[in-house]
Structures are given as structure tokens and as C-alpha cells.
């Protein structure tokens, strides 16, 4: 009898803890199947319309496109693409977009390439859709992601993302960036939205 009471208490405590956790995380009791299907359709649309090949990825990086790694910070710090440009490869997991808006807003209008871990990772797609809501355009996704970068032997580096944004354009101490002319031309040639 004592064992049954103990089991009942454990089940009640576990249920209570699950209830509290669900409320804290704002999780629904019943999944919204329609919203899930809409999200899957949006992800499929992206795979069909904004995915790029390795050659296109290389070309965009060489032309100075902004590269954003959507993986968690811990993975980014262990290794990420070394673009050799300013800004360097940025780390913006989807759940940190709002924390990164100050520096990302400086990049509106620039060509942007997103990637995450692999073909099965959808962080880049989530970030794409969120950035689109903030008015970003001219974005592509390299779906093979970090695994594709490693397999292709592209240059990599490690460490945290420390880029805080461009210096003020009128700052006399700002060193010209090799990509400034490319970015200026792209901004002139691209329509605004």
C-alpha cells in the first residue's frame, strides 16, 4: 500500500511540474496542427526558392555578402566560416534575433547568406522568416550548412561573435573596408523592399 501511495505522490508531483513548465514556456495543451502545417509549407517554399549551391555560396562570400550562422553560440564558438571580411561571419540563432537587431539593421539591403548545421537543421529557415518580418530581403540559405562548409574545405575559424557593428560612416578613424565599394554598389542597384 505504501508503494502505491509513493507512486501516486510521484505521479502527482511530476504532473504538477509538467503543468508549471508548460505554463512558463507558454506551451499549448493541444498542438495547433494548422500552424505547424503552415510552418512546414513556409520552410518547403524556402528550400525551393532561396536555397543556393556550394558554388553560389562561395561566389556570394567572395563578393562580400554578409554570412550569418544560425547555430547555437556554443557550436559557433567551436567553429564557423572564416569570411575574411567585415563584418565577419555573424552568429544569430533564431531566438536571439531581437537581441541582435541593433547591429543587423545596419546590414539591411546587403546580400545575406544564412546557414545552420546541415540539411536537417531548420534554424536558418526560422531566422530567414523572422528577418523577413523585419524588412530584410536579398537573403539566401546555404542548406548543407556547417557540414557542407567542412566537406568543401572552406576556411574556418573559432571563437565567439564579437562584431558590434560598423563605425560611424563619418568617423575619420574608420578604416575603409575592402567590401565598402561592393556594398555601396549593391545598395545602389538593389530596390528597397
With CA atoms as reference, report the closest residue to 91 among 186, 161, 18. Answer: 161
How does strand 80-81 pair with strand 112-115? unpaired
Phi, psi (rounded to 5 degrees) for 18: -65, -40
Ranges of the chain with pLDDT below 50: 170-179, 181-182, 192-193
In order of their start, the domains of the chain are: 40-161+177-188 (3.40.250.10)
pLDDT score recorded for residue 184: 53
Are the CB atoms for 146 and 77 separated by under 8 Å? Answer: no
pLDDT score recorded for residue 143: 94
Contacts of 170 (CB under 8 A, 6+ apart): none
Helix (H) or strand (E) holding 67: strand 66-69
Cα 112 to Cα 159: distance, rounded to the nearest angstrom: 21
Q: What is the spatial order of strands in the sheet that 139-141 belongs to?
A: 90-91, 66-69, 112-115, 139-141
pLDDT score recorded for residue 88: 95
Cα 146 to Cα 78: distance, rounded to the nearest angstrom: 11
Amino acid at each position: 500500500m505504501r508503494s502505491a501511495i509513493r507512486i501516486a505522490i510521484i505521479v502527482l508531483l511530476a504532473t504538477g511540474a509538467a503543468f508549471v513548465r508548460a505554463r512558463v514556456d507558454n506551451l499549448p495543451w493541444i498542438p495547433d496542427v494548422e500552424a505547424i502545417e503552415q510552418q512546414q509549407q513556409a520552410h518547403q517554399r524556402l528550400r525551393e526558392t532561396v536555397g543556393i549551391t556550394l558554388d553560389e555560396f562561395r561566389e556570394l562570400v567572395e563578393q562580400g555578402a554578409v554570412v550569418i550562422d544560425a547555430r547555437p553560440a556554443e557550436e559557433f564558438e567551436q567553429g564557423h566560416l572564416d569570411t575574411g571580411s567585415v563584418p565577419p561571419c555573424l552568429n544569430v540563432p533564431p531566438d536571439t534575433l531581437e537581441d541582435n537587431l541593433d547591429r543587423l539593421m545596419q546590414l539591411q539591403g546587403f546580400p545575406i547568406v544564412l546557414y545552420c548545421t546541415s540539411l536537417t537543421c531548420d534554424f536558418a529557415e526560422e531566422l530567414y522568416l523572422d528577418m523577413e518580418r523585419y524588412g530584410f530581403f536579398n537573403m539566401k540559405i546555404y542548406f548543407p550548412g556547417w557540414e557542407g562548409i567542412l566537406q568543401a574545405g572552406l576556411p574556418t575559424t573559432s571563437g565567439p561573435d564579437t562584431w558590434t557593428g560598423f563605425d560611424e560612416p563619418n568617423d575619420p578613424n574608420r578604416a575603409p573596408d575592402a567590401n565598402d565599394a561592393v556594398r555601396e554598389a549593391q545598395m545602389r542597384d538593389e530596390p528597397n523592399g
